[in-house]
Structure 1
Amino acid sequence: MTLNKKNILKISMAIFTVIVFFSFLGYHDICVKHEAYIERAETENKLLQNQFDEILKKYDSLNSTIEEAELIEVEEAIKSAIESSNNFENNFDAKNENKSLESQIERLKNAISEDSENIVEINDRIQNNKKSLDQLESIKSNDKRIRHDKLSALNVTARGVKILSDLYAKKRERKIQQIRVCFTLQGNEFIRQGNKDIYIQVVNPKNQIISAEDTSIALNDIKLLYSAKVDALYNQKDLDVCAYVNLESNKTIKGKYIINIYNSFSKIGSTIFEYE
């Protein structure tokens, strides 16, 4: 697309250069003609003024009895003066036409300049729109793939649980014995209905995975050690799920615990539980 943009810009600049070059030649020719017209008009004005001066002299020199030949000469001089006046008016009209041509040339230059700027702006907008379109299509494609392949656990919460008993009362044990984990499996019409194996993994502040019964699943070389398992009957609608995770006394310490939710080997949710 960058190559196309450069080609369009090169073509546009070439066309613009050619038009400006011929416009400049036309404008230069018009200027030369315009100056010639001005010089010619000034010469004709001087000639016309001389002719009128001669007419006035002849009128002054006329007596009450003017011979026929002199009258004819005066009439011819007047006729010549009128023709010169008409030629001057025609030259004046030509000068106005030159100004009109100059105005047209100037408008054409402005139009070419504006069109060139518009071409660049339109090309930039097209490139930006195509880039945005590619990004959106990529996001849409990834979103479809994720929605088809993966559950999502939302609103993951966790809290500590102490089990009340006579033995507990005597020993006055203050540690929590369980963590209650709750979450919502998000409804998704692209995921098949049925039982879903949900695994809860609790990691203590020392980065130790709590697994009271040493529970794990393995596939090829991949092994997932988890803390508790839940069977959830999924019906493509939002499903609230809660489970109790039994803790190991020697791994139960104060601090922040990471709670991960898995469906098979895919992590679908996570939260932080702080035990104070």
Structure 2
Amino acid sequence: MIVNPQLFNYRLIKGSLVIVVAVFGVLGYLKYQSIEAQNVFLQQENKLIVNELSQVLNQNEVISNENEQLVTQLETFQETNIAALDSITKLTQNLSVMSKYKTENLGLKDQLISSTYKLKKATNALHTVEQNYDQSVAQLKAQTAEISRLKDGSTSLLNLANTSYNLTANYIAVKGYETILNSRVFTTKAKKVNNIEVCFNLAADENIKAGSKVIYVQILNPENNVVADKGMVTFNEQTLIYSYKTTVEYINKHTTVCTAIEADRDDKPLKKGSYRINVFNEDHLIGSTALNLE
């Protein structure tokens, strides 16, 4: 058998190359696996580092906020400290003033004690004066009561000696009339009445001094206003507004007086309701009655 050395060498080289390529392939694959593992590890480490950095940043922010709060508190403390120092300074100044006032207060206290003592003496003296005054008032009241008793006795005797009697109207009649031309028609309708007739009788009384007696008739409407106002007269600061005035010669006998009183234009038409008719002898009311108009 003949072997070609050149072919053999070729095959040997080829086999060696295959082996070398296989070895490099295996080594390359292993190297690739190692690199991949390192990449995974590095990624994990990177994530851990990022997380740690994030935590550090967060802590740094918290520390920064706390630092700002501490700075603010420090500034507040400094301001409070300054205010306290000012207050202490003022207090120190006030202490000297208070010491001065305290000395003055002691002087005022002594004056107050002295004044209190004087006031007590004055009060005792005033009490004595009040007792004397009460005694004087009691004596004065007793004397006044005696004078009043004597005066009342004198007045009673004087009144008994100068007793006066007043006229009385023991009968008063009042009617309403409507005047038509020269005739009068009796009516109770307020809107028709324009003439009111008043008749009264002066009672007989022997105790009354005879002579001229001034008589006033006053008519008051439901609103207490005077109807047919004829004037005003004053007696002892009292005023009388009257509707009719006349003078009667009284001779201690029954005396009848009648008059027709015409309502004024301002009074017409008369209002519905109760009218009061008063008869006076000067300032004395001697009789009264009422007239109801529908």
With normalisation by structure 2, the TM-score equals 0.40
From the CA coordinates, give the structure whose radius of gyration is larger: 2
